[in-house]
Amino acid sequence: MTTDNDNFEALLKASEAIPAKKLSPGQKTAATIVGIDGETIFLDVGLKSEGVINSSEFIDEEGELSVTIGDTIEVYLLKSTGSEQLFTVKIGSGASSAHLEEAWRGGVPVEGYVKAEIKGGFEVTMSGNVRAFCPYSQMGLRRVENPVEEYVDTRMTFIISRYDENGRNIVLSARAYQEEERRQKRELLQETLAEGQTVEGVVSSIRPFGLFVDLGGVDGLVPISEVGWSRVENLEDSFHTGQQVRTVIKGLDWEKDRISLSIKETMEDPWEKTVASLSEGKSLIGTISRLASFGAFVALAPGVDGLIHISKLGQGRRLNHPREVVEAGQDIEIVIESIDLESRKISLTPSDYTSPEEKKEKEHQEFKSYLTSDKKKKQSAQLGSLGELLKAKLEEKNR
C-alpha cells in the first residue's frame, strides 16, 4: 500500500534528479517579476535563489515604473555573488562604471551616448563619464551617407569588444549587438514566414538589380522585374531607403539565406483590364516606351506594352536599329495586329504600314489599271484613225 509519505519521498527524489538551472554571466534568460521594493526588483529566473535587478532600468520618460509584479522580461545575468544573482536589461547611462568590465566579460549590452566624431569613428560616453570609442565600421549593419548626422547626439546600444587598462581603453561595437538582435529575430521569422504571405518591410538598400527589403530581422530581395507592372529603368526614381513597402513572399531558402519578394503581386494586374478594351485591327495612339535592336515597345496603358517589330518600321526601308526612324517618348499611331493572351504579348504595326502581300497586291492592281488604261487609249486611237479615213473617203466621193 502506498502512503502519503511514500508519495512525498518520490516527489523529493524526482526534484533532486532534475539538474539545477545554471546561468553564466552574459547569458540571456526570461524572468518573472515577483516583487518590487524601492530600487530593487526581485526576479524568478528558475534558480534556487531569487535574482535582482535595479528598478532604475524600467523608469520611463515620465519618471514612472513601467513594469509590475507578474510581468515577464528578458534579462542578462551580470554577476553572481554568493546567493545573489544580479541581472540587467542592459547597462544604462546611470549604472555603476564597475559593471562595465563585467559587461565586457559577459557580453552584456551597454547603453552609450554618441558624443562626437573623432578620428576613425565616434567618442561614446557611458555610465555618466566613462569614455569609449566605436569605429565607423562598427556603428551599424549598413553604411550611411551622413554618419555624423545619423549618430551624434543619440543614445545607442553596444557590446564592449575591448576592455583594457582598467577601463581607460574601451572599444565598442553597435554592429555586434544589432547582428545578435537580427539573429534572434531571424529565428522567430523562420517560424512565421511562408511563401505566398503578404508582409510589410522597409527598403534597406537599392541596387541596380533590385531592392533589399528588411522584414524585421532578415532581408529579402525584390528583383527589378518584380517592383511593378511597368518597366523601371532607375529604381532610385521610384524608391528610397527607409521607405515602407508591401510585398509578397515568392520564395524562401533559409539554408542559402535567400528570400525572394514581389511588390508587383500586391498590385492589380493592368493586363486584364487593358486587354478587355483592345481588339485586333483597332487603331490608337501610343507612346514609345523603349527601343530594342529588334523593335520598338509602345506603352498602351501603365504596365501594358505592345511591340512593333523592326521589319514594320521605316515604311519598308531596311533598318539596322529602330532609332533610325523613331525614339523613346515619341507618340505614334498604331494598329493592333494580334493579341496573344497566353503569352501576354501584343503585336503592333504603324498605321502607315503596308505588308508585303498588300504591297504586292497594290502593285498588281496598279499594273492592271495601267494595262486597262493603255488598251482604252489604243482603242480610242484606232477609232480616231478609222473616223478620219471614212471622212476622207466621203470628201473624195463628193468631189
pTM: 0.56
Q: Apex CA 85: angle with CA 80 and CA 91, to 5°? A: 90
pLDDT of residue 366: 61
The answer to whether 16 and 30 have CB atoms below 8 angstroms apart is no
Fold identical between 19-88 and 270-350?
yes
Rg, C-alpha atoms of the chain: 41
Which superfamily does 195-266 belong to? Nucleic acid-binding proteins (2.40.50.140)
pLDDT category at 342 given cuts 50, 70, 90 is confident
pLDDT of residue 28: 79
Helix, strand, or coil (residue 270) = helix
Check pLDDT > 90 for residue 4: no
Q: How far apart are CA 98 and CA 109, in angstroms?
A: 15
Which superfamily does 99-178 belong to? Nucleic acid-binding proteins (2.40.50.140)
Q: Residues 42-100: pLDDT tens digits? A: 998 877 777 888 888 888 878 888 899 999 998 888 777 767 788 888 776 545 566 78
Q: Residues 282-311: pLDDT tens digits? A: 888 989 988 999 999 998 888 888 899 998
| Other Cβ atoms within 10 Å of 180 Cβ, number | 14
Check pLDDT > 50 for residue 18: no
Q: How far apart are CA 352 and CA 319, in angstroms?
A: 17
In the CATH scheme, what is the code of domain 270-350? Answer: 2.40.50.140
Q: How far apart are CA 332 and CA 286, in angstroms?
A: 6
Q: How far is CA 181 from the centre of its chain?
A: 20
Work out whether the CA dihedral 243, 244, 250, 254 comes out positive or negative.
Answer: positive
The answer to whether 333 and 281 have CB atoms below 8 angstroms apart is no
What are the sequence ranges of the domains in the chain?
19-88, 99-178, 195-266, 270-350
pLDDT of residue 375: 62
pLDDT of residue 122: 96
Q: What is the mean pLDDT of residues 252-276?
A: 87
Q: What is the mean pLDDT of residues 314-331?
A: 87
Check pLDDT > 70 for residue 277: yes
Bridge partners, residue 285, by sequence:
333
Q: Which amino acid is at 214?
A: D
| Residue listed under C-alpha cell 528588411 | 214
- Quickly name the fold that domain 19-88 has: OB fold (Dihydrolipoamide Acetyltransferase, E2P) (2.40.50)
CB contact burial 191-201 (16+ within 10 A = b; e otherwise): eebeeeeebeb
The answer to whether 228 and 303 have CB atoms below 8 angstroms apart is yes
